[in-house]
């Protein structure tokens, strides 16, 4: 890589600049935690996005890495969350969460580090795992249909494991010789599957029969490179995160391309390593970028509204975010964290594969009254700090025939000034399994 390419990559690693105006949702930008002038006041200030002076639309609520937040007394769990490290010896510890799903107040977490699916009953404050500790080999994504049926993609089993409304095992779908399922979503009584090995988007019956190939691998606009994450809009369009092509493509149920979101690049509105995608009420689309460690927020037509997150040691900091999911059913469990001046309408859960904030929870809503906040403090730096990119261990889900071309491909970047806004912290490096 030439000198300019290395500089652009380094700049991209730390870019958290507050930039252009987003329509409808608010001004793009970073949220900040206002500093209290009264040091004796131990109460944490609420964190909102976008930053002042714009109207807050998202509030960070809490982050956690096991079920202690729900089992212990509030004061004990809060102090552990604020000043302590997660208990990695806990049997409920989340090691490397990827896919997320919420159903009737229960949070399902695909943990590719521990090779299990955690189930947190947020309303009744209970914990269990789906299946047994030996059921899964690499559970990457989970989806739940309107009847409560669970579909878990396992990229080592190379099948979709199915569980019923009571979390009891039903069977497995797929032919390991023909499909490596990375994600699945229900639509019109059928299943749409991301076959990452063949680079295809496929339509299956709920018994696992291949009905139609919606999109194939290739270089044309309506083709895919590496489809990894899916969601469906209320109109029935399918959002496909293509991690190799660094964008989200939108198809209808017939496989016709109806739009795209984002492009390769290093500024907000562009992606380096997009992963989880989630459609919220009103058509707002959330996309996690694991490389830049932010969540970008778009309209369905692809217009960027805002972004938030960034690498940080703070509780709201992100570390290689992967799965994202929107939910209303668990709102009562987080009511105590919502600022009384803010009307929370739904929750956004984010899975972080690195760091101590493995699951971060945000609330979307509108202020009940005007929320006065100080303007953010930003520091412009000359792009001298060049943190090393996080290692991306290979999970052997890319065909060998494509490995060489994928490794040699250089992501497209945009020219930008070396002066950026930085909010970063040193993160201990460790070898943790990550999905593509």
pLDDT > 60? residue 4: no
Question: Would 319 be classed as within a structural domain?
Answer: yes
pLDDT > 50? residue 402: no
* Cα dihedral 123→125→126→130 (10° resolution): 50
Under the banding of pLDDT at 50, 70 and 90, the label for residue 17 is very low
Question: Would 267 be classed as within a structural domain?
Answer: yes
pLDDT in tens, 126-166: 999 999 999 999 999 999 999 999 999 999 999 999 999 99
Predicted local distance difference test score (pLDDT) of residue 87: 64
Beta bridge partners of 111: 97, 116
Predicted local distance difference test score (pLDDT) of residue 69: 77
Average model confidence (pLDDT) across the chain: 80
Question: Would 414 be classed as within a structural domain?
Answer: no
Predicted local distance difference test score (pLDDT) of residue 67: 84
pLDDT > 50? residue 382: no
pLDDT > 60? residue 182: yes
Predicted local distance difference test score (pLDDT) of residue 337: 97
Predicted local distance difference test score (pLDDT) of residue 378: 52
Predicted local distance difference test score (pLDDT) of residue 147: 95
What distance in Å separates the CA atoms of residue 35 and residue 48, rounded to the nearest whole number?
13
Question: Would 435 be classed as within a structural domain?
Answer: no
Question: Would 375 be classed as within a structural domain?
Answer: no
pLDDT in tens, 96-112: 999 999 999 999 999 99
Question: Would 317 be classed as within a structural domain?
Answer: yes
Predicted local distance difference test score (pLDDT) of residue 237: 97
Predicted local distance difference test score (pLDDT) of residue 374: 86
Average pLDDT of the residues in 262-285: 95
Under the banding of pLDDT at 50, 70 and 90, the label for residue 289 is very high
Percent of the chain with pLDDT over 70: 72
Predicted local distance difference test score (pLDDT) of residue 196: 97
Average pLDDT of the residues in 110-123: 97
pLDDT > 90? residue 345: yes
Which one has a higher pLDDT value, 23 or 43?
43
Question: Would 399 be classed as within a structural domain?
Answer: no
Under the banding of pLDDT at 50, 70 and 90, the label for residue 386 is very low
> Residues 128, 132, 133, CA angle at the centre, nearest 5°?
95
Count CB atoms within 10 A of the CB of residue 354: 22
Predicted local distance difference test score (pLDDT) of residue 220: 97
SS3 91: coil
Under the banding of pLDDT at 50, 70 and 90, the label for residue 203 is very high
The two beta strands, 321-327 and 342-352, are antiparallel
Point out the least confidently predicted range of 90-94, 104-108, 379-383: 379-383
Question: Would 406 be classed as within a structural domain?
Answer: no
Average pLDDT of the residues in 64-72: 78
pLDDT > 80? residue 172: yes
What distance in Å separates the CA atoms of residue 288 and residue 323, rounded to the nearest whole number?
7
Under the banding of pLDDT at 50, 70 and 90, the label for residue 71 is low
Predicted local distance difference test score (pLDDT) of residue 91: 82
pLDDT > 60? residue 391: no
pLDDT > 70? residue 267: yes
Under the banding of pLDDT at 50, 70 and 90, the label for residue 376 is confident
Count CB atoms within 10 A of the CB of residue 236: 10
Predicted local distance difference test score (pLDDT) of residue 11: 43
What distance in Å separates the CA atoms of residue 315 and residue 312, rounded to the nearest whole number?
8
Q: Domain count for the chain, please give it.
A: 1
pTM (2 d.p.): 0.79
What distance in Å separates the CA atoms of residue 239 and residue 258, rounded to the nearest whole number?
10
Q: What is the CATH number of the domain that holds 42?
A: 2.120.10.30
Q: In which domain, by residue range, is 160 found? A: 3-367
Point out the least confidently predicted range of 17-31, 325-339, 399-413: 399-413
> Residues 127, 130, 134, CA angle at the centre, nearest 5°?
115
Count CB atoms within 10 A of the CB of residue 2: 8
What distance in Å separates the CA atoms of residue 32 and residue 49, rounded to the nearest whole number?
8
Under the banding of pLDDT at 50, 70 and 90, the label for residue 253 is very high
């Amino acid at each position: 890589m030439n000198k300019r390419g290395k500089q652009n990559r380094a700049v991209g690693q730390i870019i958290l600049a507050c930039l252009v105006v987003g329509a409808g949702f608010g001004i793009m930008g970073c949220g900040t935690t206002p500093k209290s002038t009264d040091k004796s006041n131990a109460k944490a200030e609420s964190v909102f996005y976008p930053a002042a002076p714009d109207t807050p639309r998202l509030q960070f609520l809490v982050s956690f890495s096991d079920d202690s937040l729900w089992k212990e007394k509030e004061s004990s769990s809060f102090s552990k969350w604020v000043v302590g490290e997660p208990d990695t010896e806990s049997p409920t510890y989340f090691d490397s969460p990827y896919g997320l799903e919420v159903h009737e107040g229960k949070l399902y977490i695909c943990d590719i580090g521990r090779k299990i699916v955690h189930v947190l009953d947020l309303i009744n404050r209970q914990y269990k795992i789906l299946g047994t500790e030996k059921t899964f080999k690499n559970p990457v994504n989970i989806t739940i249909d309107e009847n409560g049926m669970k579909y878990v993609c396992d990229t080592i089993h190379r099948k979709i494991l199915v569980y019923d409304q009571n979390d009891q095992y039903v069977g497995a779908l797929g032919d390991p010789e023909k499909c490596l399922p990375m994600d699945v979503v229900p639509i019109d009584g059928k299943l749409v599957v991301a076959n990452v090995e063949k680079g295809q988007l496929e339509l299956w019956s709920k018994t696992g029969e291949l009905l139609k190939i919606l999109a194939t691998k290739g270089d044309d606009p309506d083709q895919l490179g590496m489809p990894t994450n899916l969601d469906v809009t209320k109109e029935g369009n399918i959002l496909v995160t293509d991690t190799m092509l660094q964008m989200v493509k939108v198809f209808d149920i017939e496989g016709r391309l109806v739009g795209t979101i984002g492009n390769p690049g290093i500024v907000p509105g562009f992606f380096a390593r997009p992963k989880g995608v989630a459609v919220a009420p009103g058509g707002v689309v959330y996309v996690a970028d694991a490389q830049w460690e932010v969540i970008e927020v778009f309209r369905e037509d692809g217009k960027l509204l805002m972004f938030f997150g960034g690498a940080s040691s703070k509780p709201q900091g992100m570390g290689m975010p992967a799965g994202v999911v929107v939910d209303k059913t668990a709102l009562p469990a987080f009511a105590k964290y919502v600022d009384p001046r803010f009307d929370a309408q739904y929750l956004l859960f984010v899975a972080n594969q690195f760091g101590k904030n493995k699951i971060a929870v945000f609330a979307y809503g509108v202020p009940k009254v005007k929320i006065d906040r100080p303007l953010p403090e930003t520091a412009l730096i000359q792009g001298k700090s060049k943190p090393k990119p996080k290692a991306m261990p290979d999970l052997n889900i890319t065909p060998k025939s494509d490995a060489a071309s994928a490794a040699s491909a250089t992501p497209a970047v945009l020219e930008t000034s070396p002066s950026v806004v930085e909010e970063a912290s040193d993160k201990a490096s460790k070898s943790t399994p990550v999905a593509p």
